[in-house]
Amino acid sequence: MKSLLASLSLLVCATLASAADFDWKTRFPEGLVDNAGKTVDIATLKNKTVAVYCSAHWCPPCRTFTPELVKFANANKDKLAVVFISSDEDAPRMFAYMKETKMPWPAVPFKSAGGSAIKREQGVSGIPTLLVYGKDGQLLTKNGRDLDGLKKLLGK
């Protein structure tokens, strides 16, 4: 019985350790880029709550929400990482939107398979949408646009 409990304890510890070190490359296999298209180290997401922001320049509600999210992300950068998935018409418009709104976060490459998979997997049918994932890579909420609720998830 003692060896069974010891084995279970080791299994739980191993599971918790691996969950804390979630590999975001599985979600973003094409990597991440900044507003100039340069590669961003995916390790910047490690040990943070990750908010996946689905948005586009042409979307009026997105253009209203984005500045609020920029302020929130800047104030919580120690605990929160944001990744942008663009619904813009092309990559130049995506990069222009990122620069214009001063998004301090990276994006998935334009029309990447990883970005499309996340949107499909979570049933994203409208924008802006903010999907929030825990440090273990598990979805916490599809309603991340509720910044007060997001603040609570971050423990603030």
Residue 89 makes CB contacts below 8 A (sequence gap 6+) with 58
Residue 4: what pLDDT? 33
Residue 100 makes CB contacts below 8 A (sequence gap 6+) with 57
Residue 20: what pLDDT? 53
E strands, 98-149, are: 129-133, 139-141
Residue 62: what pLDDT? 96
Residue 9 makes CB contacts below 8 A (sequence gap 6+) with none
Q: Which CATH superfamily is domain 22-153 in?
A: Glutaredoxin (3.40.30.10)
Residue where the block lists tokens 């507003």: 35
The reported pTM is 0.85
Structure token pair of residue 22: 């979630």
Are 95 and 37 contacting, i.e. CB atoms less than 8 angstroms apart?
Answer: yes
**Averages of pLDDT over each 10 residues, the chain, 156 residues:** 37 42 89 95 94 97 96 96 97 97 96 93 95 94 89 82
Residue 61: what pLDDT? 96
Residue 5: what pLDDT? 32
